Structure 1
Amino acid sequence: MNPNEYIQGLHHLTVSVGGAQEDIDFVTQVMGMRMIKQTVLFDGAASIYHLYYANADAEVGSVYTTFPFKKAGVYGKKGSGQIEVSGWSVHSDSLEFWKKHLDKHQVKNTGIVERFGQKMIHFEDPSGIGLGVFGDDSDTRNAWQTDQISKDNGIRGIYGTVLRCREIEMMDFYLREVLGFSKLGQDGDYHRYHIKNGGPSRVIELLHVPDLPQGSWTFGVGLPHHMAFATANDQQNAELKAYIEGFGFTDVTEIKDRNYFHSIYTRTPSGVLFEFATSDIGFAIDEPEDQLGHQLLLPPFFEDRRAEIVKPLEPITPPSYLQNGN
Structure 2
Amino acid sequence: MSGIHHVTAIAGNALRNFDFYTRSLGLRFVKKTVNFDDPGTYHFYYGDETGHPGTILTFFPWEGAVAGRGGVGQTQQTAFRVPARSLGYWTHRFIEKGIAHEALEKRFGEAVLPFTDPDGMSLALVGVPGAENEAGWSNGDVPGEHAIRGFHGVTLLLENAAKTSSILTDVFGFKETVREGSIIRLTADNAAGGIVDIYEAKGFLPGRQGAGSVHHVAFRAVDDADQAEMSRKLVETHGQHPTEQKDRNYFRSVYFREPGGILLEIATDIPGFAVDEPVESLGEHLKLPAFLEPHRNDIEGVLPPLERAA
- Residue 307 of structure 2 is aligned to residue 317 of structure 1: yes
The worse-fitting range, judged by mean Cα deviation, of 24-33 and 134-143 is 134-143
Query: Which runs of no fewer than 5 residues in structure 1 stay unpaired?
Result: 1-6, 321-326
Contact residue 240 and residue 258 of structure 2 kept, 8 A:
no
Q: 1:276, CA displacement in angstroms?
A: 1.1
Task: Find the counterpart in structure 2 of residue 90 from structure 1.
Answer: 82
- Residue 33 of structure 2 is aligned to residue 39 of structure 1: yes
The counterpart of 2:194, out of the listed 202, 207, 212, is 202
SS at match of 1:238: helix
Contact residue 41 and residue 49 of structure 1 kept, 8 A:
yes
Task: Find the counterpart in structure 1 of residue 130 from structure 2.
Answer: 138
The worse-fitting range, judged by mean Cα deviation, of 48-57 and 137-146 is 137-146
Task: Find the counterpart in structure 1 of residue 285 from structure 2.
Answer: 295
The counterpart of 2:15, out of the listed 15, 21, 27, is 21
Root-mean-square deviation over aligned CA pairs: 1.9
The counterpart of 2:70, out of the listed 75, 78, 85, is 78
Contact residue 32 and residue 287 of structure 2 kept, 8 A:
yes
- Residue 168 of structure 2 is aligned to residue 175 of structure 1: yes
- What is the distance in 2 between the residues matched to 1:136 and 1:28? 22
Q: How many residues are paired up?
A: 309
**1:28 counterpart letter in structure 2:** T
- What is the distance in 2 between the residues matched to 1:169 and 1:10? 20
Q: 1:199, CA displacement in angstroms?
A: 4.2
Contact residue 189 and residue 208 of structure 1 kept, 8 A:
yes
Q: 1:46, CA displacement in angstroms?
A: 5.5
Task: Find the counterpart in structure 2 of residue 247 from structure 1.
Answer: 237
Q: 1:97, CA displacement in angstroms?
A: 1.0
Task: Find the counterpart in structure 2 of residue 305 from structure 1.
Answer: 295
Contact residue 141 and residue 157 of structure 1 kept, 8 A:
no
Contact residue 55 and residue 192 of structure 2 kept, 8 A:
no
The counterpart of 1:259, out of the listed 221, 241, 249, is 249
- What is the distance in 1 between the residues matched to 2:168 and 2:75? 15
SS at match of 2:5: strand
Ranges of 4+ aligned residues in structure 1 off by more than 6 Å: none
Q: 1:179, CA displacement in angstroms?
A: 3.7
The counterpart of 2:186, out of the listed 172, 177, 193, is 193
- What is the distance in 2 between the residues matched to 1:112 and 1:96? 10
Q: 1:148, CA displacement in angstroms?
A: 3.9
SS at match of 1:222: coil
Contact residue 165 and residue 208 of structure 1 kept, 8 A:
yes
- What is the distance in 2 between the residues matched to 1:107 and 1:95? 14
**1:138 counterpart letter in structure 2:** G
TM-score by length of 1: 0.89
Task: Find the counterpart in structure 2 of residue 324 from structure 1.
Answer: none
- What is the distance in 2 between the residues matched to 1:213 and 1:143? 39
Q: How much identity, in percent, do the aligned residues show?
A: 32
Distance 1:294 1:178, change over 3 A: closer
- What is the distance in 1 between the residues matched to 2:216 and 2:193? 15
Task: Find the counterpart in structure 2 of residue 65 from structure 1.
Answer: 58
- What is the distance in 1 between the residues matched to 2:13 and 2:222? 34
**1:118 counterpart letter in structure 2:** E
- What is the distance in 2 between the residues matched to 1:123 and 1:308? 37
- Residue 152 of structure 2 is aligned to residue 162 of structure 1: no
SS at match of 1:48: strand
Q: 1:15, CA displacement in angstroms?
A: 0.5
The counterpart of 1:51, out of the listed 44, 48, 52, is 44
Cα deviation digits, residues 148-183 of structure 1 (max 9, x gap): 421111101111111111222332333234444211
The counterpart of 1:211, out of the listed 199, 203, 208, is 203
- What is the distance in 2 between the residues matched to 1:249 and 1:310? 42
**2:125 counterpart letter in structure 1:** V
Contact residue 183 and residue 200 of structure 2 kept, 8 A:
yes
Task: Find the counterpart in structure 2 of residue 323 from structure 1.
Answer: none
Task: Find the counterpart in structure 2 of residue 106 from structure 1.
Answer: 98
